[in-house]
Copies of this chain bind each other. A is one copy, B any other.
Amino acid sequence: MARKPDATARERILAVATRLFDAHGVHTVGLQQIIDELGCGKNLLYREFATKDELVVAYLERCQHDWTSIVERISEELPGDPAGQLIEIVAVVAEQAMRQGFRGCPVHNTNAEFAVAEHPVHRACVGHFDEVRDHLYDLAVRARADDPRTLADRIALIVDGVNANGAALGARGASSVARGLADDVVRAAL
Contacts and interface: CB of A to CB of B under 8 A. Distances in A.
Interface string A149-190: 010111011111111110111000111111011001100100
A161 B156 contact: yes
A175 B34 CA distance: 37
Interface stretch (A23-31, A50-58, A63-71, A74-82): A23-31
Interface residues of A, number: 47
A169 B153 CA distance: 11
Interface string A115-140: 10000000001100110010000000
B164 A108 contact: yes
Interface residues of chain A: helix, strand, loop or mixed (majority): helix
A188 B177 contact: no
Given A115-B25, A168-B111, A154 B129 contact: no
Contact of A150 (B105, B109, B180): B180
A37 interface: no
Contacts of A27: 25, 27-28, 113
A112 interface: yes
B162 A111 contact: no
A104 interface: yes
B115 A103 contact: yes
A152 B113 CA distance: 29
Contacts of A153: 173-174, 176-177
Contacts of A168: 108, 111, 125-126, 129, 160
Nearest to A125: B168
